[in-house]
Amino acid sequence: MSELLEHLAANVRRLRDIHGMSLSQLGEKSGVAKGTLFKVERAQTNANIETLQAIAQTFDIHVTELLSPPQAPAVEIMLDGEGEEITDEAAVGHVLRRQLVGAGTVEIHAKTFHHGKVQLSVSHGPGTREHVFIRTGSIRLGPIGQEVLVHAGTYVTYLADQSHRWQAEGGDCTLWIVHTFPRTTALKEVPAPENG
């Protein structure tokens, strides 16, 4: 039983951190008393099913996710070429990481754009931003009609909520892209559990 309590404690702390919530804020949104949440996060109480459901609904997850062993190791390593492949005619790339952070999601891509090839990207949705770190080479990029030519060692950012263009110039270009996507749905407000 104590192993489940430890899983629950670690998962509630992790989810609260991801969403940038204090114990008080989680208590307000879930309807669970702050004192109960304090004990849950320290594995000092056996939470009832209503409490588990209220916490899970607040984070829009299933109760089983609260009780499952935390998956992420303390240090994660991604080697060159690993991750979800996002290769096309204009570029070779991989999604290195996709993670919920605060009020949105972050994706990290490592890509190599091929010289002379053009890649057009459609809007990634309202409020989406791309942060681009040029590692090698030169590339013309940005929202269509506002493209800029940048070189190795440069950081560029722009709203990606409109069509944008990528074209390596003078050779291949390697870069990292950090996409930030705002959360499209609010965290759920959950009525307080009834004590009965």
Summarised one tens digit per residue, pLDDT across range 57-66 is: 999 899 998 9
pLDDT band at 35 (very low <50, low <70, confident <90, very high): very high
pLDDT average, residue stretch 83-98? 83
Q: Which residue has the higher pLDDT, 187 or 10?
A: 10
Of residues 27, 20, 21, the one with CA closest to residue 190: 27
- Based on the fold, state whether residues 169 and 133 are members of the same structural domain: yes
- Based on the fold, state whether residues 28 and 89 are members of the same structural domain: no
- Based on the fold, state whether residues 101 and 171 are members of the same structural domain: yes
Task: Give the pTM.
Answer: 0.54
- Distance, CA of 37 to CA of 57 (rounded, Å): 15
- Based on the fold, state whether residues 51 and 98 are members of the same structural domain: no
pLDDT for 191? 59
Number of domains the chain is built from: 2
Domain of residue 133 covers 84-182
Contact 32, 195 (CB under 8 A): no
**Predicted confidence (pLDDT) at residue 3 exceeds the cutoff of 70:** yes
pLDDT band at 87 (very low <50, low <70, confident <90, very high): confident
**Predicted confidence (pLDDT) at residue 192 exceeds the cutoff of 60:** no
- Based on the fold, state whether residues 98 and 175 are members of the same structural domain: yes
Tell me, yes or no, whether 134 lies in a domain: yes
pLDDT for 17? 81
- Based on the fold, state whether residues 57 and 97 are members of the same structural domain: no
Give the amino acid at 57.
Q
**Predicted confidence (pLDDT) at residue 149 exceeds the cutoff of 70:** yes
Tell me, yes or no, whether 77 lies in a domain: no
pLDDT band at 73 (very low <50, low <70, confident <90, very high): low
Helix axes 23-30, 2-18, angle to 10 degrees: 100
- Based on the fold, state whether residues 101 and 139 are members of the same structural domain: yes
- Based on the fold, state whether residues 177 and 107 are members of the same structural domain: yes
Tell me, yes or no, whether 99 lies in a domain: yes
pLDDT for 196? 45
**Predicted confidence (pLDDT) at residue 72 exceeds the cutoff of 80:** no
**Predicted confidence (pLDDT) at residue 75 exceeds the cutoff of 60:** no
Average pLDDT, the chain: 86
- Distance, CA of 12 to CA of 10 (rounded, Å): 6
